[in-house]
Amino acid sequence: MNPRPTRPALVATSHGTSSPAGRRAVLGLVEAVRRRLPDVDVRDAYVDVQEPTPDDVVAELAGPAVVVPLLLAPGFHVRVDVARAASAPGCTAAPTLGPDDRLVGALVRRLLEAGAQDADVVVMASAGSSDPVAQACFEQVARDLSVAIGQVVPLGYVGGTGRPLDDVVADVRAQNADRRVVVSSLLMAPGFFHDRVSRCDVDVVSRPLLDADPADPRLVDLVVDRYATAVAAQGALTGTG
């Protein structure tokens, strides 16, 4: 009898947060991915604040694995933590979640849920990064959202380098005194950065991408596709059924 085919484990690696709501939101996405892939060992891991680390999870596994960053853009943690875990024998790393049209679709959904209207001015808020590749990724998502909603969406940051969100909002307010200012939150889950965004001088702030149960199916699809693409690219599938 031929052995049953095995599929690499999926190590869903997020940043980590001390926010209970943020932790529940991320685990909700991981659980949704687990339901979508019942024949895959799906584990959660964290690059900061929480445990286990992706290194710890990979070390526990008895076979190949794909480390899928539940992060919106490349940066320090992808270059260091994710890359280190994925360097173990039989392991590989998938790309980050952004940029991607499904991510933009989820952002549009959040704006609609927040009550955004055509007359509003939309600004995007990101946690930011000192990494130029990450900054380019955030800027691409802002351009994609601009196309999706039919208006230019300026980007502001609440961390890292780049133009501070407060400055971007001040400029928008000065140029559009009679219009509401709505922030599209390019953040994965509730926590420190979303709290900072919420304190901005704006009329409406959309919820983070994962601030809902169940998780947006677009984001589940995105994680599953990142995993499948990495498996195919590395030839890691050990059987064909």
pLDDT of residue 199: 95
Q: What is the rounded average pLDDT for all residues in the chain?
A: 93
Work out the pLDDT band at 160, boundaries 50, 70, 90. Answer: confident
Mean pLDDT of 186-208: 96
Percent of the chain with pLDDT over 70: 95
- Can you tell me the mean pLDDT for 40-49? 97
How many C-beta neighbours within 10 Å does residue 211 have? Answer: 22
Q: How confident is the model at residue 6 (pLDDT cuts 50, 70, 90)?
A: confident
Question: Residue 239 pLDDT more than 60?
Answer: no
> What pLDDT is stored for residue 87 in this prediction?
96
Q: What is the pLDDT of residue 3?
A: 44
Q: What is the mean pLDDT of residues 217-238?
A: 88
Does residue 240 carry a pLDDT above 50? no
pLDDT of residue 238: 44
- Mean pLDDT for the stretch of residues 112-132: 94
